[in-house]
């Protein structure tokens, strides 16, 4: 029987056309949309580790869990204690997990593989709330929600940690608005080269460009809305994602190259959001942890309450 080469090519192209969307759907389904966390866990921070590993921490006792975004499995690697775990970031150079210590005024550094607490830094002796952290090649920066300042931990080669006496307190300049008895500085991000920080002020619903050394700050002019209740943040290129906790959404902002202005182009939402606090990025998705601040005050024991990490796709 004589075969028609043209017909064979057409059949092959048809098979490929059918296989591509099926493969895409299978890839998406291999990562669960909702990852249950232990009952009573009270998560606030989430950080992406190596591969599809993630970390999350508890406001109530500061326990640290490590999980897998593909399988949805989680395991405790650091037991709870007299701590809080708020925002967190993983440094792939050193394998260390940096964690903001909330009302304890501290920063914690854990071994991301063993869960061992490597170092504790007392950032401030004053009543305060250390809320979030970003790690660059030069330093780890921690926000303070109750004081008009942030903290810099200078890092050495391959992310080597500084000594306890090397903590630097950087005052925020007059361009950063501040409201007494309110949550001010919250989430923090940095440009790829670490030359500029971006800090969200939850009380004013604003973003600020901040010099990491001098603390000089200027508001980023936003059009299309604001970032009221802004919490955790992710910067990818010139696209900023700001978790707006109590609003159950994530603002998508396109920034100008000089960070002087930005446009809110839309919001990411999910029917599974229950007041998400922070998010981590993996591939074409963000993973946000539900903190449920509207129902459960931070640090209040909630032994029977459920919490989740929720996946939302980005474009």
- Residue-wise pLDDT for 29-54, tens only, equals 589 999 999 999 999 999 999 999 99
Rounded to 5 degrees, what angle do the CA atoms 188, 249, 105 make? Answer: 35
pLDDT above 70 coverage of the chain, percent: 90
Contacts of residue 162, Cβ cutoff 8 Å, sequence gap at least 6:
153, 154, 155, 156
* Domain at 34-313, CATH homologous superfamily: YVTN repeat-like/Quinoprotein amine dehydrogenase (2.130.10.10)
- Residue listed under structure tokens 């010139």: 238
Please write the tens of the pLDDT for every residue from 164-198: 999 999 999 999 999 999 999 999 999 999 999 99
Q: What is the pLDDT of residue 299?
A: 67
| CA distance to 57, 81, 94, 151, 223, per residue, from 118 (Å) | 16, 15, 12, 19, 43
Summarize pLDDT for 133-172 with one digit per residue, the tens: 999 999 999 999 999 999 999 999 999 999 999 999 999 9
Domain locations in the chain as residue ranges = 34-313
Q: Sorting pLDDT into bands at 50, 70 and 90, what band is 304?
A: confident
pLDDT at 26 over 50: no
Look at residue 27 in the predicted model and tell me its pLDDT. Answer: 43
Residue 79 is predicted with a pLDDT of 96
CA distance linking residue 260 with residue 253, whole number of Å: 13
| 3-class SS letters over 37-97 | ECCCCCEEEEEECCCCEEEEEECCCCCEEEEECCCCCEEEEECCCCCCCCCEEEECCCCEE
What per-residue confidence (pLDDT) applies to 19? 43
pTM: 0.90
Angstrom distance (rounded) from CA 112 to CA 97: 6
For residues 44 and 275, the answer to whether their CB atoms sit within 8 Å is no
pLDDT at 276: 98
Whether the per-residue pLDDT at 13 is higher than 90: the answer is: no
What is the rounded distance in angstroms from the CA atom of residue 102 to the CA atom of residue 108?
10
């Amino acid at each position: 029987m004589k075969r028609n080469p043209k017909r064979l090519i057409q059949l092959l192209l048809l098979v490929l056309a059918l296989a591509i969307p099926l493969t895409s759907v299978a890839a998406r389904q291999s990562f669960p949309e909702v990852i249950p966390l232990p009952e009573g866990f009270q998560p606030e921070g989430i950080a992406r580790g190596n591969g599809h590993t993630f970390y999350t921490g508890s406001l109530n006792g500061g326990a640290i869990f490590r999980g897998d975004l593909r399988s949805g499995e989680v395991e405790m690697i650091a037991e709870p204690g007299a701590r809080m775990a708020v925002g967190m970031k993983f440094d792939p150079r050193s394998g260390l997990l940096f964690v903001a210590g909330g009302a304890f005024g501290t920063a914690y550094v854990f071994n991301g593989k063993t869960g061992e607490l490597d170092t504790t830094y007392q950032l401030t002796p004053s009543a305060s709330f250390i809320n979030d952290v970003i790690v660059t090649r030069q330093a780890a920066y921690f926000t303070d929600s109750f004081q008009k300042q942030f903290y810099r931990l200078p890092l050495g080669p391959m992310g080597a940690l500084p000594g306890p006496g090397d903590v630097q307190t950087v005052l925020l300049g007059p361009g950063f608005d501040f409201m007494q008895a309110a949550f001010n500085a919250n989430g923090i991000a940095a440009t790829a080269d670490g030359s500029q920080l971006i800090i969200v002020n939850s009380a004013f619903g604003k973003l600020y460009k901040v010099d990491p050394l001098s603390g000089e700050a200027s508001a980023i002019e936003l059009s299309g809305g604001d970032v009221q209740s802004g919490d955790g943040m992710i910067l990818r290129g010139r696209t900023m994602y700001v978790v707006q906790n109590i609003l159950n959404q994530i603002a998508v902002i396109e920034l100008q190259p000089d960070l002087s202005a930005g446009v809110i182009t839309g919001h990411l939402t999910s029917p599974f959001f229950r007041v998400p606090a922070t998010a981590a990025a993996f591939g074409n998705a963000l993973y946000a942890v539900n903190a449920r601040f509207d129902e459960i005050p931070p640090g209040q024991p909630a032994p029977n309450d459920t919490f989740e990490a929720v996946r939302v796709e980005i474009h």
